[in-house]
Amino acid sequence: MKMHRFVLGVCITLTIAFPLFSMGTQKERPLTVYAYDSFSGDWGPGEEVVSSFEAKHGIPVRVISAGDGLEMLTKVIAEKDRPYADVVIGISDEMATKAYRADLFEPYHSPILSEIPEFLHFDPEHRLLPFDYGNFAFIIDSERIPEEDRPKSLADLTHPRFRKSLILIDPRTSSVGLGLLLWTIRIFGEEGWLDWWEAMKDQALTITDGWSSAYGLFTEGEAPIVLSYTTSPVYHYTYEGSTRYQALIFDEGHQTTIEGVGMLRSSSRKEEAKLFIDFLLGEAQLPIAMANSMYPANGNTPLSEGFAYAPKPKVSLRMASEVIEKNLDRWLHEWTEVMSR
C-alpha cells in the first residue's frame, strides 16, 4: 500500500472523540475504522481526514492502526464472529478474493464511484471501493548510485555490485512485500521466480516486516535501494524540496496495486459508514494523495507539482485476485523455504 510518509517509530492509534466503551447509546458510539499503520500513524493522512469528516458531519470517528494490509485482513477475519470495526481502509486488489470468501464486506454503490475511472473498479459488486493506486518500484539514493550503474530490470538487481545494497520487505506480513513477490512471478514465471529470490539473499541488507521500517532504514542511509512505489519521490520533492531519491523504471513492467475501502457487514453504523466512505472517495482524496504519495482514485482530484517526479511505467502488471488466492499459500511456503535455507 502509498508514500505513506515516514513512520519511523511505532505507529500510534488515533483515538478521536471519546473511548469506545464509555458510550451510553448507539448514536454516541464512534464510528470505528481499521486502517493500515501508515494511514493512522504520525505522518499519515488519518488525523486530517478524520478531523475534517467530524467537522462536516458531527460523527465521532475512532481510527485504529491494525498493521499492514495483510495483517489487517487477517485481524478482521479473526474477529468475524466478534466484530469490532465498521469500516476497513487499505485492503488491496491483490487480497480481495480472500476478503470476499470470508464474506466480510457489504456492497455499497457510492455515488462518488462515477468520478473514479473504470479501470480502478476491481470489485464489480462494490464490496471494496478504490481510493488510491500506484505501482511498486525500487527507489534509489541518487547520491550513492550514479546514473551509469543503475539497474534497468529486476534481473539487474542480482548483479554482484548490489550486494547488501537493498532493503526488501517480507511478503508474509506486508502488502508491499507481497507486491514484489507477485511482480517476480509475473516477470520470471513459475519456473524462475524462486531463482531470483535465491540470488537476492546476497543482495538484501535486511528484510523488514513492513514498508515503514524499510523506508526508514533507507532514508537513514543504511542501504541505497529500497522497495517502495514509483510515487515515493513525490514526498521528498513536496516536503523536502529534494529530488535525491528517485524511482527506477523497468521496461519489463511494474506490478500495480489498488487500495480499497469497505464497510463490514457486521457494522451497526452503516449509514455513518457510507458517509465516511463517500468522504474518503471525495473531499479526502487530496490529503490522502499528498500524505500517501499515491495516485488518487477520484479522477477529479488535482495533482500537486510533486507528481511530476513520479515516473509512470510503460507497462502496468496485474494478477487476478482469484489466481493469487488459489496459489498464495504455496508461493509463501516456497518463498519461506528458499529464504530460510
Closest CA to 83 of 100, 96, 102, 69: 102
Residue at 13 is within a domain: no
Same domain, 118 and 184: no
Backbone φ, ψ for residue 259 (5° rounding): -100, 135
* CATH assignment of the domain containing 205: 3.40.190.10
pLDDT at site 56? 97
Same domain, 36 and 161: no
The three cell numbers of residue 7 are: 513512520
- CA distances to 83, 158, 266, 270, 288 from 16, in Å: 19, 46, 22, 19, 18
Same domain, 69 and 189: no
Same domain, 107 and 238: no
Checking DSSP bridges between strand 245-247 and strand 166-169, what pairing results, if any?
unpaired
Same domain, 281 and 321: no
pLDDT at site 220? 97
Same domain, 228 and 332: yes
CA triple 31-134-79, angle to 5 deg:
35
Same domain, 50 and 175: no
Show Cβ contacts of residue 100 under 8 Å, excluding neighbours closer than 6 positions.
123, 127
Same domain, 265 and 193: no
Residue at 224 is within a domain: yes
pTM of the model as a whole: 0.85
Residue at 233 is within a domain: yes
CB neighbours of residue 81 within 10 Å: 6
Same domain, 146 and 179: yes
- Listed in order, strand segments (DSSP E) in the chain are 31-35, 61-65, 87-92, 105-106, 129-141, 166-169, 204-208, 225-229, 245-247, 254-264, 295-296, 316-317
Residue at 86 is within a domain: yes
Mean pLDDT, consecutive 10-residue segments, the chain of 341 residues? 41 36 52 89 85 97 87 91 92 91 96 97 97 97 96 98 98 92 98 98 95 94 98 93 98 97 96 98 93 92 93 94 92 97 85
Same domain, 234 and 330: yes
The three cell numbers of residue 27 are: 448514536
Number of folded domains that form the chain: 2
pLDDT at site 126? 97
Same domain, 115 and 139: no
Instruction: Identify the domain containing residue 223 by its residue range.
Output: 134-255+310-340
pLDDT at site 26? 46
Residue indicated by cell numbers 492509534:
13
Same domain, 220 and 319: yes
